[in-house]
Amino acid sequence: MRQHRLEFSEPGRVVMKVGPAPRPGADQVLVRTHCSAISPGTEMLVYRGRWPQGVPVDATIGALAGAFAYPLSYGYCTVGRVIASGTAVSDDWSGRRVFAFQPHQDLFCAAPDTLHPIPEDLDDETALFLPGMETAVNLLLDGSPLIGEKVVVVGQGIIGLLTTALLSRFPLAELATLDAHPLRREASIRLGAGVCFDSEDPASFLSLGGDPGQGGEADLVYELSGNPAALNTALALTRFSGRVVVGSWYGAKKAELELGAFFHRGRVSLISSQVSSIAPELTGRWRNSRRLQLAWEMLRQVRPSGCISHRFALAEASSAYALIDRSPGETIQVILDHRQADEM
């Protein structure tokens, strides 16, 4: 067997690296990947070379240790099956389907405690959405939507769509979303948004009561577009004492905020949300394990595999990234199929 691994070699370029198959240590298992998902937000920052200087890749995931620098193997949505185990690993792991926070590669070794067994009632493609769903759960924990509130989600990429799907289960007065792309607006309505506006249409903005000088009508706004300019839109849509939850990671992109008008007098709260941690005020009741179990359950309810817009073979990964980069409006979730990688 040979290992096939994707590597970001320079801005705008992904290459395939081929080498010997890894061998598991005594306390490791060997996993053959079935499929992996491309994160169109975070991974495109890596693809475009727009990460911030001096920031670790991910201090909470062992497979992503180190600093951002080319060449870099990156990715964190992998589903596969255990095909071999070290001598110190329980036989119970043999043949298990697992989710792993691993870069795109068809074979990898990992300690069992870093893997997440996939429930039998969930298929591989649904399981790929686990990180996105866990992020969406975290966003709701941080935003704390209340009964009867008006909520707006800016950005309907995969994180925005999953957040919309969860919010649609709340007894809100109104759930509105914004996105520039028709494909994503259609998906937003399917997943439960009451209305989805074109974020590039000024009339849509006015229909939500957005006024940079006087505020809007939303109690809670999520900024999930990945576009720093959208944060001003989110602020303008928020009413007195409202909350804006920023779930986007802008990387090296700068946000020029309009904070001299309604924001200052309107007592609007800006809340940072990132899935690597749980809000301190919740940790007395919430742990990562509880949040993860809830994410699995929400995957059962939402079944988001319908958001997969494209499937590429691992060997075609460069075309997949180019498509997301140049034609984002044509994609929602792009996945890579690893099943033929060992034949290359």
Average pLDDT over residues 114-143: 97
- pLDDT, tens digit (0-9, with 9 covering 90-100), for 59-92: 556 656 567 788 889 999 999 999 999 999 999 9
pLDDT at 157 over 60: yes
pLDDT at 54 over 70: no
pLDDT at 21 over 60: yes
Task: Say which DSSP state 319 is in.
Answer: H
Whether 293 is in a domain gets the answer no
Average pLDDT over residues 36-43: 92
pLDDT at 145: 98
Whether 13 is in a domain gets the answer yes
Same domain, 339 and 215: no
Helical packing angle, 182-190 and 158-167, nearest 10°: 30
Q: Is 66 left (phi over 0), alpha (psi -120 to 50) or beta?
A: left
For residue 195, the cross-strand partners are: 176
Same domain, 142 and 271: yes
Average pLDDT over residues 30-56: 87
Domain assignment of residue 97, given as a range:
2-118+305-343
Whether 253 is in a domain gets the answer yes
Same domain, 264 and 141: yes
- Least-confidence region, from 33-37, 82-86, 130-134, 224-228: 224-228
pLDDT at 264: 83
Q: Compute the distance between CA of residue 318 and CA of residue 334 in angstroms, rounded to an integer.
A: 12
Same domain, 273 and 147: yes
Token pair belonging to 72: 């870099």
Same domain, 242 and 268: yes
- pLDDT, tens digit (0-9, with 9 covering 90-100), for 289-315: 999 999 999 999 999 999 999 999 999
Angle at 127 between CA 311 and CA 113, to 5 degrees: 125
Q: Compute the distance between CA of residue 216 and CA of residue 201 in angstroms, rounded to an integer.
A: 16
Model pTM?
A: 0.93
pLDDT at 209 over 80: no
Among 242, 263, 280, identify where a domain stops: 280
Computed on alpha carbons and rounded to an integer, the radius of gyration of the chain in Å comes to: 21
**What percentage of the chain reaches a pLDDT higher than 70?**
91
Among 244, 265, 280, identify where a domain stops: 280
Return the CATH number at 16: 3.90.180.10
Q: Where residue 341 falls among pLDDT bands split at 50, 70, 90?
A: low
Average pLDDT over residues 55-62: 60
Q: Compute the distance between CA of residue 8 and CA of residue 320 in angstroms, rounded to an integer.
A: 13
Same domain, 146 and 205: yes
- Least-confidence region, from 65-79, 189-203, 268-282: 65-79
Return the CATH number at 142: 3.40.50.720
pLDDT at 333: 97
pLDDT at 169: 97
The residue behind tokens 């061998």 is: 23
Q: Are 3 and 18 in contact (CB under 8 A)?
A: yes
- Residue 337, classified by CB atoms within 10 Å of its CB into exposed (0-12), middle (13-18) or buried (19+), is middle
pLDDT at 344: 52
Whether 290 is in a domain gets the answer no
pLDDT at 23 over 70: yes
pLDDT at 7 over 80: yes
pLDDT at 134 over 70: yes
The domain total for the chain is 2
